[in-house]
């Protein structure tokens, strides 16, 4: 499958396919929307993962501090 010099036609195994400019615009909008959604989702999950590991480390620090203070008595 290859593209011709005309931006609105694509050659396929069955011949030449015509892509309407409106259809091309919708395809581009869908690709941009998927990209933006992916970036936003990565930002949300990045924050959640950081919070999870931060809380995990704080919990371990508290346990180790409690264990050291009991041993000092």
At 21-63, the pLDDT tens digits run 898 899 999 999 999 999 999 988 998 889 988 888 887 777 7
Q: What is the pLDDT of residue 7?
A: 57
Instruction: Find all residues with CB under 8 Å of 58, minimum gap 6, and list them.
Output: none
**Structural domain count, the chain:** 1
Domain residues for 21?
Answer: 2-72
Q: What is the pLDDT of residue 71?
A: 52
* Residue 72 pLDDT class (50, 70, 90 cuts): low
At 5-16, the pLDDT tens digits run 555 666 767 778
d(CA 36, CA 55): 29
Average pLDDT over residues 63-73: 63
């Amino acid at each position: 499958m290859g593209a011709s010099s005309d931006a609105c036609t694509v050659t396929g195994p069955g011949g030449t396919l015509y892509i309407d400019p409106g259809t091309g615009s919708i395809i581009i909008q869908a690709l941009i929307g998927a990209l933006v959604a992916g970036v936003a989702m990565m930002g949300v999950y990045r924050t959640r993962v950081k919070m999870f590991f931060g809380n995990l480390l704080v919990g371990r620090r508290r346990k180790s501090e409690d264990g050291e203070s009991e041993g000092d008595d």
